[in-house]
Chain A
Amino acid sequence: MNAHMPSDTPQDMQDPLDAEWVRRARLGDHAAFESIVQRYGKAIYRHMYRMMLNREDAEDLTQEAFIRAFRYVDRLDTGGSLRSWLYTIATRVGLNALRSQYRRGKAVTSSYEAHVESAGDLQAPGSGASAEHAALRDELEVALAALQPRAALLIQLHHTEGFPIREAAAIVGMSPASAKVALCRARKELRERLLKENQA
């Protein structure tokens, strides 16, 4: 491991504020639930959007994920990370939805195509970046949508959200070793696609 990678040290200690909210949520404190939604609602929505690639599904499933989380808030380990736990639930909800869409024969490609069309309209952090950099990010968005869902999730959880590999792996339900291999393959695929290096 090296300096430019996100830390791979355990981060699953409970944030003191989260711990307090979880304690109060277990007692049925409504304000604690709201605080949790306000803190993590946007992040979980973005995570869900990255999986589903459309606003409607992302909204429905974000809500589903929070309802499940609150229903089973007693199951969160006292010392566990609320953030990781919410991401894990959201990932399961999202992957289940993708699976059922696939089983129903709903064209995942239609979401993908719509996403590709809208990629240029999405907000990007760092609006002062060069046009070249912005174009790269647009292409990256499209390339990510073409990856296997779990691989794309790993890239986003590890690189964009800053989860250590171990936690990102747990969130998507993989072993750390498998996650490392999947990340390596995903980065290779992105590199070949975006730098036009496909030697096939």
Chain B
Amino acid sequence: MKCETVQAWMRERFDQDLPLEQGFAGHLQECAACRAYRDRLSALSAALTEIKVEEPSEQFLRSLCAATRPVPAQAYGPWVAATVAFLAVVSAAVGWFNPVSIDWTAALEAAADWRTPLEVARGLFSPVLMLLREAGAALAPIHEVTPAGPPWMFAGGVALLAGVLFGFNAFLRMAGENSSMHPTRHSGN
């Protein structure tokens, strides 16, 4: 058997990660060149199982533990949710008991008149609160006035109110179940 054939076959078996010697044991005993070639391929196979690695520093591993450690949920979260829910309910209640039509054009213009931080805050929240008030008005059983806003406003207001209350309820349930995960990011090495 020719050495060239044997070595080509060994190459093919190496590429396919198969045993190199199968079928050639006799030839390999007699042929030093093919044995040497087999040894080189075997060494390469062995080297693949012990590829050198860059080890992380102990400091990095410590910081990794710290970085992935969960921290308790922010304590003010429930307060924010409670305040939002309270405002939503109050706005809807105002609309319910005092279903006066809102002049949306004037109200939105006033809301858009931002000069001070307080006005910015009012501008951001008042359309939502007005919408909720309209929702309350729409739901009022003794409706005496026709609200000025289009029907979608009432639908939107009702959906918003429902969403806020549902969200608040879900938040309270989630907060009650466990302290939620907020992994902190490792800021450096």
**A interface, CB within 8 angstroms of B:** 2-5, 27-28, 30, 33-34, 37-38, 41-42, 45-46, 49-50, 55-56, 58-59, 62-63, 66-67, 70-71, 119, 122-126, 133, 136-138, 140-141, 144, 155-156, 159-160, 183-185, 187-188, 190-191, 194-195, 197
Contact = CB atoms under 8 A, between A and B. Distances in A.
27 contacts: A2-B18, A28-B178, A33-B69, A38-B65, A41-B56, A46-B56, A50-B53, A56-B189, A59-B60, A62-B56, A66-B64, A66-B68, A67-B185, A122-B54, A123-B53, A137-B52, A138-B52, A140-B47, A141-B52, A144-B51, A160-B49, A187-B14, A187-B16, A188-B15, A191-B14, A191-B44, A197-B11
B11 A59 contact: no
A136 B56 contact: no
Contacts of B15: 184-185, 187-188, 191
A122 B50 CA distance: 13
Given A42-B61, A125-B50, A30 B44 contact: no
Interface string B1-24: 000000000010011111100000
Nearest to A29: B70
Contacts of B52: 119, 122-125, 137-138, 141
B143 interface: no
A121 B94 CA distance: 74
Interface residues of B, number: 38
A88 B179 CA distance: 27
Contacts of A190: 44, 48
Given A34-B69, A38-B61, A70-B68, A159 B54 contact: no
B178 A133 contact: no
Contact of B67 (A50, A67, A191): A67
B60 A155 contact: no
Contacts of A34: 65, 69
A106 B174 CA distance: 43
Contact of A37 (B14, B54, B64): B64
Contacts of A67: 67-68, 183, 185
A71 B61 contact: no
Given A28-B70, A37-B68, A140-B47, A45 B183 contact: no
Nearest to B186: A63
B60 A126 contact: no
Contacts of A49: 53-54
Interface string B32-68: 0000000011011101111111111000110011011
B18 to A, nearest CB: 6
